[in-house]
């Protein structure tokens, strides 16, 4: 790792190629470590996620991006180590949430931590239910960091969380690795399309969420139209200000 490559401009380090250049020969290990940190530690929300995985996949097929030379990454190691790191990181987050509860989130806003991140994670947990939320959160930056401890805090069982954690972890990591690898091998001058490619990935990841939100609005309209009793008890949902998940 060449520390002389570290820039004083923190915004530069939001770009995945900066991290890959910093890791040098150990880029494959570095990618796996970032996956673990982003999904298991609260400060990991500032680390690159989808863009890093997609770029890492590309660098398993090419070695030059925007004129910069990179050490080739190992696709087999990424396909194996990536999901394992994502699963272990999320399980750590779930454990921290179950152990420390609300204290984990009771802190003032800072450059890294903001209460709005927790609110977003809680929204998806409530809106889609625990199982789907754990899977969908993998494809949503920031939410994938905070939803794991939130699920633990709200009482989602470790076994149930693990099952959906495995599904989401494998889908998220290996899909992006393989997509990057395929495009890197098949598309000439792929480095020109890294950022547009990431934008498309983010847009596609939002489609299931948009569909669910539209369904929810449609459902509310139908209930209002058939005279549903507004005072009827609603389904119990977890809340940061309420009881644990039941």
Confidence (pLDDT) at 153: 87
Confidence (pLDDT) at 185: 79
- In this prediction, residue 32 has a pLDDT band, given cuts at 50, 70 and 90, of very high
pLDDT above 90 covers a percentage of the chain that reads 24
At 68 the three-state DSSP class reads: strand
pLDDT digits (tens, 9 = 90+) for 121-136: 888 788 888 888 899 8
pLDDT digits (tens, 9 = 90+) for 213-232: 566 555 555 544 554 444 43
Q: Tell me, yes or no, if the pTM score tops 0.75.
A: no
Closest CA to 124 of 136, 112, 114: 136
Angstrom distance (rounded) from CA 136 to CA 212? 11
- In this prediction, residue 137 has a pLDDT band, given cuts at 50, 70 and 90, of confident
> Can you tell me which residue has the tokens 């987050």?
93
Closest CA to 191 of 61, 75, 91, 97: 61
């Amino acid at each position: 790792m060449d520390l002389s490559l570290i820039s004083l401009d923190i915004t530069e380090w939001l770009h995945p190629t900066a991290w890959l250049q910093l890791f040098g020969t150990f880029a494959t290990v570095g990618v796996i470590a970032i996956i673990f940190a982003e999904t298991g530690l609260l400060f990991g929300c500032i680390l690159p996620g989808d863009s890093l995985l997609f770029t890492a996949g590309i660098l398993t097929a090419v070695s030059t991006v925007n004129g910069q030379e990179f050490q080739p990454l190992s696709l087999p190691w990424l396909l194996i180590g990536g999901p394992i790191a994502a699963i272990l990181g999320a399980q750590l987050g779930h454990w921290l949430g179950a152990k420390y509860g609300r204290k984990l989130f009771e802190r003032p806003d800072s450059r890294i931590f903001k209460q709005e991140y927790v609110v977003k994670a809680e929204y998806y947990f409530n809106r889609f239910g625990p199982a789907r939320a754990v899977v969908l959160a993998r494809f949503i930056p920031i939410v994938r960091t905070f939803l794991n401890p939130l699920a633990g805090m709200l009482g989602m069982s470790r076994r149930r969380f693990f099952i959906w954690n495995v599904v989401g972890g494998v889908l998220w990591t290996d899909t992006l690795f393989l997509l990057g690898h395929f495009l890197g091998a098949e598309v000439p001058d792929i480095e020109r399309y890294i950022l547009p490619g990431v934008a498309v990935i983010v847009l596609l990841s939002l489609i299931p969420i948009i569909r669910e939100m539209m369904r929810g609005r449609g459902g509310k309209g139908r209930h209002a139209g058939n005279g549903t009793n507004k005072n009827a008890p609603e389904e119990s949902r977890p809340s940061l200000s309420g009881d644990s998940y039941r």
